[in-house]
Every structure is written in C-alpha cells, then in structure tokens.
Structure 1
Amino acid sequence: PADRPGRPARTATAPARASSAPVVLRPGEQVQIDTTRLDIMAVLEDGSLGRPELTIAVDVATRSILAAALRPHSTKAVDAALLLAEVAVPHPARPAWPTALHLSRAEVPYERMLSLDERLEGAAARPVIVPETIVVDRGKIYLSQGFIAACETLGVSVQSAPPRRPQAKAVVERTFGAINDLFCQHVAGHTGSNPQRRGVATEAETRWTIPQLQDFLDEWITCGWQNRPHDGLRHPVLPKTALTPNQMWAALITVSGYVPVPLTGADYLELLPVRWQPITERGIRLDYRTYNHDILDPHRGQRSPVASKDGKWEVHHNPHDARQIFVRLTDGHLHEVPWIHRDHVHQPFNDALWRHIQTEAEQRGDRDQHEADLADALDQLLRRTRSPAGTEHEASPRKRSRARGTAVHLPDLPGQRRPLAAETAPAPVPDWSENLDDLIGTDPTTEPGTGDPEGTSAASAEAGGYGLWDAEAEAEQW
C-alpha cells in the first residue's frame, strides 16, 4: 500500500543489530550483575515455601560466575554491595569438596599467584577478579546510595544499561538461562518457567533450605560451570577449541597479571547499611530491639561529633543477621554492640522473620517484657523450622491453611532417596562426600496418595519393621 502523507517511507531493510557481547580483553574489564527469581521452591526460615531470588556477577571476558547469592525474599542493596566485595576475595573450598575442586588443581599459575596472595591457599577453583566496570540495570537496588557508595569504596565504576535493552546485559541473561537448564531442573522442588515444565507435586517435592541450595549452587559453579567449555571463549592460538571459564581466566591473567585486593572484616562492615540512632541510658534502640554494651557507657546521653545528623551516632547493621550492630564511636572505629537477647536466640535471623514474629506475638506487659516475648517466640520458631525431624510449615494464618498437608522434613543428609511407586529395591543413602551431580541426580519422592504414608518406606517394610502409624497421613489417603 502507498504510504500515507506525513509519514516516512518504510523500507524492507532493518538496521544492523549491534553485537550483544562487548569486546573485552582483560578479566574484570566489564562485569555484569543482575537479579532474578530462581525456578526452585525452597523452605524459608519461617517454614513456608517460596522461590528465592538469585543475584550473580558474571565476568564478560571469561564468562565466569564470580559470585552468586540466594536470598529468601527481595534482594536488598546491601546484598548487591556484599556480592561486589565477594567477587574480589577468594572463595574457600568446602571441607567435604574433593581436592579436584581446589584452586591448586586448576590450570592456573597457582604457585606464582600464591606467592602474591596467601589467601589463595585452600581456595576453590574459581576466579578472583577485581571489577573495573560493572553493568547493571535500572533497578532500585543498583541505583541506591548504599550500592553506589560500595562501588566508590572499592574503586569500581557503574554503568547503567539503557532501558528496554536486554541485549546490553546479554551475557548475564544467558547465564541465568544456563543455570535454569543445567542446575535448577535437576534439583528437588523445580518449578519450571511455566506450568508445562514443572511437576505435578512441586510443593511436596520441596526439601531444601536456602543455605543448602546455596551450598549446592556454589559446588555446581565450581565443578560444573567453571570447567564446562563455552562456545564464546576462544584463544587466538587455538581458535577452533572452545575453552572453559577457568582456562580463559588462566590465559588472560598471564597477560594482564594478578593484583590482589586485601579486604578485612572492617571493610565489610563499611559496606553495611547505615542508620543514625541516639545512644540512651538503655543503649541503642533499633526496630524495637535494644542493643547494649559497656563500651557505650562514656557516650550515653551524649551527642555525636556529627552535627549534621542532629547529634545521632552512625550505626551499621546487617539485615540478614540482626543479633548485633556496629556503632562508630569517637575513635573513628566501628564497635560491635550485641542485642540484649542474643544469648537466647542462637541462630541468625533477618528483618523479614522479625516482622513476622511481631505480627504473630501478642503484646503483653511493658516494652521490655514484649521484647523478651518476641525473642522467645523467635527462638522457638527457629528451632521448629530447622529441626531435622521436620514440622509443619510455621506460616501466617492465611498461609497455614494453604500449606497444610505439605509438611516440610529437613533431612540430616541431602540426597536421601525414597523409592518410586514402581520400584521395590531400596535406594542407597549418599553421604556428604558425594559430588553435587550425584546429589541433584537422585529420583524425586513419591507423589502424595500413591505410596506409603509419610514417615514409612518400602525399605522398612521389607526389613520386617512396622514403622510409625501417622493418623493425619492415613486420613489423607482417604
């Protein structure tokens, strides 16, 4: 049809598309960071089920996953800041990992690097790269003041991707797809990207907590991703051979060199979020929690030297471990101040779990008694949800009815296999020394209503044992 007046003529030729992957020549020259929801249903800290968020940092030059962090709820700016610091330090190898996953066994000049950085002793076979430029999207966590301040502290420049241009972060986007295809679909509780790619009983198959999934993911990155040939990695001497991320890192550091960046514990504390609070006679009050220590005695009721903050004191806090805070006193250093009920709550807890306890616990008595009741309720919830025997989901009333009948049992050893309906022979129980490929390759549990009642198995029946009769599980069969 003829073009209408006032409109430019349309042509059949489209403009040439720019290359999705930029040309980089050094490790760390460009690192892409992004966050997505993982296609795995996990057991959250309050006992309910949910899909965690995954944040990764991918080096464009080597296609290496420098760091990966799982969070049960929405990712915060402090998570991205700590992830950035994690990129620049060696990853320690787990005690149960085989020696083949240590950096000393990788194809890198290990002895030369160890002479420059003693922290590499016992490190995992993953690159240690200090980013020069990071590419992020326009999410609020990456444009926050805390994340920008962390980048300035580490000397990293930030480059925002253009809006509605996913090809600007094509490397990290394709890495997310590879994680879903090569890792997530082999883990119990895989949800799939759409209903056609998931099982019929995803919630019943869910068995792993966030820390367990984090351990599995770290091991898979070390043994799987970093040693898997990548089609986009080619060496000028061997252009027809696809290199692994570890091989590409070894080839590039021989040219660009390795410069360690020592980060101490004080450097990590500087990356934590900052609040400005007064120091009263009782201590420091933060989110209905009281923090107190004898080190605060000379400063109680005093104004801080920072006049622009109305005399309040600089307080650094970790949203994922609220058992202590860190206050900057007149000597210029950060000092740890514990929660007055830290000895009662022996496990870390985050802000989301604390808010959940506040909605569940009824206020009785004065403020001090209510804080003690919250600490006791928090300790009881952490003990129930992390018990090896497992209990029913401890969720809010509106979620408890939905989660009824799908009790979460946290196993002592990962990978324990329950027989399928068509099997008769019991399956062996692997130990912690097995590789991740063996753990995530086990068969899923039987579907509810088709096998034995929960708590019994074909193995115990064949051995002559009667097991324990569960009335609720028996009622579900009818």
Structure 2
Amino acid sequence: MEVKTVTGAEEVINFGELTEARQIDDGRVAAASAALQPLWDALSVSAREAALFKLEVVQEVLTGYRDGHPDLARPGEPRHPFGSHSGVSETARANAMAAHLASEFEVDRTRQRKLAQGGKAGSSPSSSSIRGWVQNWRRDGLVGLIDGRALKPRKEWAQIDEAYREVAETLARTFDGDRSAVNIAELDRRITVALKQSGVEYKQPAKRIKSQYLSWLMFTRGATTRTQKTRSLRNTSGYEHYPAMRPGQVVAIDATRADCLVRDVGTGEVFSVEVLTAIDVATRVVLALRVVPKSADAVDAALLLYDVCRPFSMLVEGTSVSDWRWCGLPGQVSLMTTADGKTDVLPDYTTLQGEHAIPSVLPDAVRSDHGSNFMSAHFQDTLASLGIDFLPTRGGRPTDNPHIERFHETLQRAWQQIPGYKGRNTGERGAKVDTEALLTANELEQHLRRFVSLDYHRTEHAGLRVPGEPKARFTPLEMWDMLTELTGCIDVPQRADMVFDFLPIHWAVISHGGIKCKNLIFDAECLDEYRNGRKGRFREKDAAAPFYRDPHDLSRLWFRDPETNEVNEVPWKGAGLTHAPMTDALVDAAWKVAKNRGGKKMISREWSQHLIAEELIELTTHAENFDEPARIRAARLRRQQSRRDINEAVDAQSRTPLSPHPTTTETLSTSPIDFDAPWGRLTLDYANEKQ
C-alpha cells in the first residue's frame, strides 16, 4: 500500500507492516498503536484535550502544521517561523510559539470567564515547556505528552468506611504546624476513640488499606511541623500567579539588605541596614518604604503596612525637596479633568517642581516570603484585624514574588548615586568604602524616597502594558491613575491615631501604684478613674485594661480612654533616670543583670527602677558588656523611628479633637475634605465592610 510521511514523501509498504489495522475508513486504512489505545481510553476528557493541545503545538513547531501534514493544512498554514523548512532554529521556533500562545491566552474568553468568577485560570506555557514537549514527543510519541498526574494509580480509599474517613480527615487537619505530629498507630487510636465517643457504628477497615490511607493522609499534611504550617495556609494563599487587575488588589512586601553603608549619628560607627518596601502589583507603585536596622522585626513589618494605609506627598520648591510628608485625604491621586472635558494626567513631566503624591490603599491581600517577621503572630493578627488576606510564597521560590524582587534590582540606581556604595558582594567592594562621608540611616531613607517619587514613579515601566497597545509604555503613577479612574476612589478612611492600631497590645491591671509591663512600672494621671477597676470593664475574664506597647521604645505605653477615645501617654516611672534606648532586647538584658545584683532588694519597686536604669546606662555606654553590640545601634535607630511616627500622630491628634466613638459614617460624611488637615483613623467597621 502507498503512504505519505509528514514531510510529504511517498512510500510503498506492505500492509502487515502497520502496527494494527482497526478499520477501513472511507477507503483508507486507519492504524492505531496497540500500546496507546488502552491507556488513551482510560484517560479523562480533560487529560485527552490537554495532550492533543500539546501535540498540535509540537507538530506546528516541527512541521509548520498543527495537524502535522501539508495535506491537512489549516487556513494560513504554514506560518513563519514554524516548520523545519523556515530555516529558523528549533529554540527560536519554541520562543515564537510561547509568545503566540501568551497573546492567545490573554484574550481567551473561557479564561476570562473563570477569572471573573473568582477561579484560577493557570498560565500560558513557556518556551522551555514547549521544548520539553518536543523532546518527550520524540522519545515517547503521544504518550510522552500526557500529563503524568493523569497516569498515577488511584488508591481504593472507597472501601474504607465513610464515617472512619470523615473523622480521620478532621483529625488530620488539626496538624497545622502548632501541634506535634504523631505516628500512624496513635492517629488510628484517636480515630477509634472519637468514633466510639460519638456512638457512630462503622466497619473496621482492613489493616493494610487502613495503614496506607493514614500514611497518605499524614503525607498530605507534611512530614515536619514547618511543612504542615505552610500547607495549612494554602486555603488563604496564592500558590499560582494571577493578574492583579486593580490598585490594592495585591501588595507585595519584602526586606532586602541595603547595598551601601551608613553611619551612626551618636558614635560615628559604620554599619549596614535593611530596606522594607511595599509595592502595588497592578501598577508597580511603591506605597511605602522604610530603612530599618537588620534584621527587620514584626513591628517594622506592621508599621510598613501602616505606611501603606496612609497617604504621603513630597513637595519640590526650587532646589528644596521635602521628605515624604503625612498629607490629607485626596479625592484622587493625580487624575484631573480640564474645563474642556479632557483628561489631564499629572505629574507634569516637563518639570520636577510641585507636589508629588504617594497614594494610600487598604490592600485586599499582602504577598510576602516566609520571613519570621511576616509569619509572626503580631503581623498576622494585624492583617486579620484589617481584613487583609495573606499570600505567602513557597519556600525557596523568590520568583513567587517577582515584582518586589525586580524592584530591588531597580534600587541599584539609587545605591550607586550616594557615598558608601559597597557593591552587591565583597568582590565589588572598594577598600575605602567605610571612610567616605556616609549618610545616616534617616538620610538614606530620605534619599530612597526621593528616588521613588522623582525617578522611579516618573519612569516608563516595561511591565506595564495595556491590551491592544503592545508598544505603549506607562509610568507607575500613570497606570495607577488609569485604573483608579475605572475602579473609583479607593483611599482609606483615616484618623490621626491610626499608628497605635499597628502596635502590640499589653493587658495589665491598673492598680494604685500604676501598671507593670516587662518588670517596669508605668503610671499617669489619665489612669486615675480606672484604678482597681471591676472585672469585665475591658474584657470579660479579668479586670485588665489594654495598653499599646511599642517594643522599639518601652519608655512609655499608651492608653485609649474609653470615655473620650483619646490616646494618652503612660510613661515609665524611671524614665528620668536614663536616656538609653529601651527596646525589648535591652530591657530584658538589663533586667537579668539587675536581678542578679539586687537580690532581695529587687522586691522594692523603687530599688528595682534604679538598678534597671543603671544597667541600661551600663549596656549602652560599654557595649562590650553586651553580647551583641549591634543591638545597641539598632535600638537607637528604632527608638528614633518610633518617636518620629508616634510623635507625628500625637501632634496631629492634639490639633484635631476626636469624637468619643467615631463611626465609618462620621468619617466619610463630614464636611468637604481639607487636603491639608491631619488624616483620620482607619476604623474596623470599614475593614469589615471591605470583606
């Protein structure tokens, strides 16, 4: 019989050379592989469609025809550069096919419908995936293109009693990283006890299948508590990329080591710092940026989120450039309509003069890595109180958070503009870097914020595209304005004392002598009406009252008066004895030494106050007595930042009287907005409405 190959060559072969003749179709012999047919029949419809899609891609890359033969050419085939006859390398053809599939993927109606319904639509194949398909097809034919997951044998768990499986799955879910894992025998015992206590009748499963089932169940939870913790977050995290389509939908945050040195204001010592950044995924706008001591802790992360929720602006007048300043609540960032009805997008790129806005937003979700600061209970509680979803990346996968990682590369332009640049590694470091006139940490933060406002936000971003305009390029602020015009105003209702909502809460009983926190005594006149209070006034189980505690500055606590809703300072009684920075680490170290020195005298509050103050002075004056001198510098910097943030809020609060019990309605429906007025507080009601 006469056959034609995929290259168009005609050959004459014997009928018996065919693998297996199934039938005669329209006068032609249809051949099928005996090895493929049973496997193919057992596949699901979706698995078959996926394999045939890959086959079309492979055939078009290699031959130029999706059906693999010139006689079966579809309209427009062959297309350049596909097919071996094109003279283009196979790698280049795979790259071209990946680009073509990506463009088809963006306009696919089925995918858009899934996204609109809140589902996951996957991603288009990369060029490396396509090259892998070609290799698999050459090695195994169509079998090599079948998804391996569709070929895995299924366990016959159905023969295990349904009641047993329900209890087993319920108990397995309790292993979320907070509980120690148990062996299979103990898990089986707990299941049996639970079934007997509930009075449910069930059939005891066979030992072998039961052991396999429980082993599989615990395997899905994770072999270690850390793995179990990660997998327990999968219901609330994004393990697949999806397009953020509006400002605030996803905000990516991360910390990176600054590639330049700074000097300590007090001692002149040279040291390194870290930079915390929050970037909006949809628009690439930098919403917040902080320079912090290494390594950033949970409070640093929470205060970065505080910066995300409040609006900033930067003013350029002549050669004078202000720092990011706390501004009022604008109706829109910079989108304005002229008298003739045309849209005018600011800022004016012909000049740097004028106001530069940094918008605020309450994110729908925050994406970060598994750093201890982001996984901490305080940061997680802060997100939960604001109704913000947490999307942790996979361990060891920095590409899961690509937007913030790419911005770290952009910061190289900023690092190299200032003295103290030390390169990315020791091989790039100059011998006299630490002898230059270095910036302080505060000056470095100002420099980076100016870079963001005057350079980065005004530079066209290659990652910002608009469908239908592949050659158009937009700056981050332009994209923010365009999307804001579609989604409406998304500014955060605010109050002057919002910073306290991002600090940890310390519960303490207000006694005649004040309150106790970290073995220190705090007191103020604002507590007089609440001393020796009744049980249940602030919480049901005891008479304790809530105080805001800043771990970066323990020289004072803060108490919100329930009658006036005003936040009042409650200072440490020994604050006048020392000017040493008081972070958690330093106070704990001073307390241990003072306790050993004081002996029985530590029973006296007055004596303990003096001893702790003396030890704080000793630790900060003679750093060699402390096992980590770097903490002394970090403590000074953290206290400086803490006082700047809180004093700013206290100053605004003193200029703007607070209503006793503000509501969302009061915040949003007051008189016309004053752009220069202090901003208000983000109410929990608003966060709940957002959910």
TM-score by length of 1: 0.65
From 15, 19, 25, the counterpart of 2:245: 25
CA change 1:202–1:137 in 2 (3 A) is same
2:263 aligned residue:
43
Letter in 2 for 1:284: I
- For residues 301-335 of structure 1, the C-alpha deviation after alignment (integer angstroms, 9 at most, x for no partner) is 44552566554332211123333212356659554
Aligned partners of 1:100 and 1:328: how far apart in 2? 30
Q: Does structure 2 retain, via aligned residues, the 8 Å contact 1:44–1:72?
A: no
- C-alpha displacement at 1:195, in angstroms? 0.8
Higher RCO (C-alpha 8 Å, min separation 6) = 1
Task: Name the counterpart of 2:423.
Answer: 192
Checking the alignment, whether the CA contact within 8 Å between 1:126 and 1:226 is kept in structure 2 is no
Q: Could you tell me how far 1:222 is from its partner in structure 2?
A: 0.9
Secondary structure, counterpart of 1:40 in structure 2: coil
Aligned pair 1:108/2:334, yes or no? Answer: yes
Deviations 1:148-183 (A, max 9, x none): 23223333222222233222101111111221x112
Cα 1:81–1:398 change in 2 (3 A) is: closer
Q: Is the Cα contact below 8 Å between 2:324 and 2:449 reproduced in 1?
A: no
Alpha-carbon distance in structure 2 between the residues aligned to 1:175 and 1:323: 37
Query: Is 1:396 aligned to 2:624, yes or no?
Result: yes
Correspondence list, 1:300-449, <5 A:
300-302=531-533, 304-305=535-536, 310-327=542-559, 331=563, 333=565, 334-342=567-575, 350-352=583-585, 354=587, 368-369=606-607, 371-372=609-610, 375=613, 395-396=623-624
Measure the CA separation in 1 of the matches of 2:274 and 2:323: 29
Q: 2:629 and 2:298 mapped to 1: Cα distance?
A: 33
Within 2, Cα distance between the matches of 1:123 and 1:285?
46
- In the TM superposition, residue 207 of structure 1 has moved relative to its aligned partner by 2.8
Name the counterpart of 1:68.
289
Once residues 304 and 323 of structure 1 are traced to their aligned partners in structure 2, the CA distance between those partners, rounded to angstroms, is 28
Conserved? CA contact 1:39–1:191, under 8 Å: yes
Contact 1:273 1:318 in 2 (8 A): yes
Equivalent of 1:226 in 457, 468, 493: 457
Match of 1:77 in 2: 298
Between Structure 1 and Structure 2, which shows a larger proportion of helix residues? 2
Q: Structure 2 CA distance, aligned partners of 1:378 and 1:217?
A: 33
2: CA distance between counterparts of 1:111 and 1:375? 60
> Which amino acid is 1:87 matched to?
V
Partners of 1:100 and 1:42 in 2: CA distance: 18
| Residue matched to 1:262 | 493
Structure-2 separation of matches of 1:219 and 1:166: 27
Deviation at 1:218, TM superposition (A): 1.3
Give the whole-Å Cα distance in 2 for the aligned partners of 1:370 and 1:234: 63
1:54 matched residue in structure 2? 275
Instruction: Give yes or no for contact 1:85–1:268 (8 Å, CA) kept in 2.
Output: yes
Residues 241 and 165 from structure 1, CA distance in 2 versus in 1: closer, same or farther, beyond 3 angstroms? Answer: same
The answer for the alignment partner of 1:279 in structure 2 is 510
Q: What secondary structure does 2:314 align onto?
A: coil
SS in 2 for 1:326: strand
Q: Which residue, 153, 167, 170 being the options, matches 2:402?
A: 170
| Counterpart among 72, 81, 90 of residue 311 in structure 2 | 90
Partner letter of residue 276 of structure 2? T
- CA distance in 2 between counterparts of 1:279 and 1:401 reads 36
**Residue 352 to residue 137, structure 1, CA distance change in 2 (3 Å):** same
Query: What is the SS of the residue equivalent to 1:75?
Result: coil
Q: Residues 230 and 245 of structure 1 are in contact (CA less than 8 Å); yes or no, is this contact kept in structure 2?
A: yes
CA RMSD of aligned residues (A): 4.2
Deviation at 1:142, TM superposition (A): 2.1
In structure 2, do the counterparts of structure 1 residues 101 and 133 end up closer, same or farther at CA, with 3 Å as the change threshold?
closer
Contact 1:88 1:129 in 2 (8 A): yes
Structure with max Cα Rg:
2
Code of the residue aligned with 1:32 in structure 2: it is A
Distance 1:61 1:212, change over 3 A: same
- Separation in structure 2 between the aligned mates of residue 320 and residue 398 of structure 1, nearest angstrom: 18
Name 1:405's counterpart in structure 2: none
Q: Is the 8 A contact 2:323 2:446 kept in 1?
A: no
SS in 1 for 2:358: coil
User: Structure 1 residues 99 and 281, CA, compared in 2 at 3 Å: closer, same or farther?
Assistant: closer
What percent of counterpart residues are identical?
A: 27
Structure 2 counterpart SS, 1:142: helix
Tell me, yes or no, if the aligned pair for 1:46 and 1:353 is still in contact at 8 Å.
no
1:275 touches 1:314 (CA, 8 Å); kept in 2?
yes
Q: 226-235 or 145-154: which moved more?
A: 145-154
Q: Structure 1 residue 145 and structure 2 residue 365: aligned? A: no
Q: Which letter does structure 1 place at the counterpart of 2:249? A: E
Tell whether the 8 Å contact from 1:39 to 1:184 is kept in structure 2 after alignment.
yes
Structure 2 unpaired stretches of 5+: 1-131, 137-143, 148-238, 344-353, 631-691
Which residues of structure 1 form unaligned runs of 5+? Answer: 1-9, 114-121, 385-393, 403-478
Structure 2 CA distance for partners of 1:209 and 1:380, relative to 1, 3 Å: farther
**SS across alignment from 1:54:** strand
1:293-304 matched pairs, under 5 angstroms: 293-302=524-533, 304=535
Give the Å deviation of 1:79: 2.1
Q: 2:554 is paired with a residue of what secondary structure?
A: strand
SS state at 2:528 partner: helix
Question: Residue 137 of structure 1: CA displacement?
Answer: 1.9
Structure 2 Cα separation of the partners of residues 302 and 44 of structure 1? 45
